[in-house]
């Protein structure tokens, strides 16, 4: 249901009208409790909403809006970032909050200091250094000078952001796959659709399996996040999404030939995002070390029982 509604939104609304429409629909309040005027949803519903955003390469910070709203306890066009450099003294923050999606366009940003403290910052007095990722999505740094903070409940912003981005990656991978599969049936060479060549079919099958793996991993991580501590699952989902980018982007571009290498073609909307998102909120090395350390710490004796206990806990 939710997925269909937002899919229609991304398919039909002009891109410059997307953010206003999202604001109007109150989508930012998805994960706020009903008492806070929200929809009381969890990560699994976030998947339903953000996966289509990835699949349509929607150029809006919808995930950021939803998560920052949840952290702030009210709905709005807010953003967040776990990348902070600066000092917190007597309730005032001086320094930089980096790589804020759409930092220039939001009036409040939620940030997390190295100490773990989570707080909100009013951005009106901040200096903005604009930047963009490869897909031209704003990734801004805001510079604050003794700006009063709003202390917030503790949360792991990197984990939040990693899962959010993983959901979008699952969507973008699916979008690239569907675009590519359709193209192999349209494009004819040697008197037949290129999709009829076994070499193309086999490549696409590998691509599809990667997409399926990411979708499954991210869904499982969302389910775990709704239910409690999901650090392992979130790290694994982001890492799984990251590693799929290589096969997916390589195959999608190869199969599209030269037309896919043009500025005008839609394919880059997926691949440029995927290349950026792979690095955002933990690249492969970051998460594989994070997970590797955890399994080493627990030891071989606990590996399998830990793996199964994560799902058994739910069964109770």
Residues forming beta bridges with residue 162, ordered by sequence position: none
* Smallest separation, CB 231 to other proteins (Å): 12
CA-CA distance, 169 to 64, in Å (whole number)?
Answer: 14
Q: Is residue 113 close enough to count as binding other proteins by CB under 8 A? A: no
* Least distance in angstroms from the C-beta of 221 to other proteins: 9
The CA angle 200-206-212, to the nearest 5 degrees, is: 130
d(CA 77, CA 311): 35
Q: Which of residues 214-243 bind other proteins (CB under 8 A)?
A: 215-217, 219-220, 223, 232-233, 235-236, 239-240, 243
What is the pattern of x (binds other proteins, CB under 8 A) and - over residues 267-306? -----------------xx-xxxxxxxxxxx-xx--xx--
CA nearest neighbour of 170 among 214, 140, 128 = 214
By C-beta, is 258 or 300 nearer to other proteins?
300
Strand ranges (E), 12-136: 79-81, 84-89, 92-101, 108-112, 118-122, 127-129
Of the candidate residues 28, 67, 200, 245, the single one contacting other proteins (CB under 8 A)? 200
For 169, 286, 307, the CA distances from 232, given in Å and listed in that order, are: 18, 13, 10
CA 87 to chain centre: 28
| Cα–Cα nearest to 2, from 57, 61, 42, 60 | 42
Q: By CB under 8 A, is residue 54 in contact with other proteins?
A: no
CA–CA gap between residue 204 and residue 189 (Å, rounded): 17
**Is 11 near other proteins (CB under 8 A)?**
no
x/- track of binding to other proteins for residues 155-184 (CB under 8 A)? -------------------x--xx--x--x
> How many residues of this chain interact with other proteins, rule: CB under 8 A?
59
Residue 34 as a binder of other proteins (CB under 8 A): the answer is no
Sign of the four-CA dihedral 207, 160, 127, 53: positive
- Would you tell me which residues interact with other proteins (CB under 8 A)? 174, 177-178, 181, 184-185, 195-196, 198, 200-202, 204-206, 208-209, 211-213, 215-217, 219-220, 223, 232-233, 235-236, 239-240, 243, 284-285, 287-297, 299-300, 303-304, 307-309, 311-316
């Amino acid at each position: 249901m939710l997925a269909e509604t937002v899919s229609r939104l991304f398919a039909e609304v002009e891109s410059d009208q997307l953010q206003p429409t999202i604001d109007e629909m109150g989508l930012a309040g998805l994960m706020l409790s009903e008492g806070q005027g929200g929809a009381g949803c969890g990560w699994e519903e976030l998947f339903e909403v953000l996966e289509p955003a990835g699949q349509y390469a929607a150029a809006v910070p919808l995930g950021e809006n939803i998560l920052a709203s949840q952290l702030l306890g009210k709905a709005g066009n807010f953003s967040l970032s776990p990348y902070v450099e600066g000092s917190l003294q007597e309730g005032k923050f001086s320094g930089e909050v980096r790589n804020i999606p759409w930092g220039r366009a939001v009036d409040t940003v939620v940030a997390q200091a190295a100490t773990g403290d989570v707080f909100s910052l009013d951005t009106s007095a901040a200096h903005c250094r604009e930047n963009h990722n490869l897909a031209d999505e704003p990734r801004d740094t805001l510079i604050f000078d003794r700006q009063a903070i709003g202390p917030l409940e503790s949360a792991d912003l990197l984990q939040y952001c990693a899962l959010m981005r993983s959901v979008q990656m699952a969507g973008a991978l699916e979008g690239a796959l569907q675009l590519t599969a359709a193209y192999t049936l349209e494009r004819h060479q040697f008197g037949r659709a290129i999709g009829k060549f076994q070499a193309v079919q086999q490549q696409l099958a590998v691509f599809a399996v990667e997409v399926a793996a990411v979708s499954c991993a991210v869904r499982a991580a969302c389910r775990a996040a709704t239910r409690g501590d999901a650090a392992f699952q979130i790290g694994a989902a982001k890492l799984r999404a990251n590693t799929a980018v290589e096969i997916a982007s390589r195959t999608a571009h190869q199969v599209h030939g030269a037309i896919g290498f043009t500025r005008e073609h839609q394919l880059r909307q997926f691949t440029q995002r995927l290349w950026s998102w792979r690095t955002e909120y933990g690249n492969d090395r970051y998460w594989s070390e994070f997970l590797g350390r955890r399994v080493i710490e627990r030891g071989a004796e606990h590996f399998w029982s830990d793996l199964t206990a994560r799902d058994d806990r739910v069964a109770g």
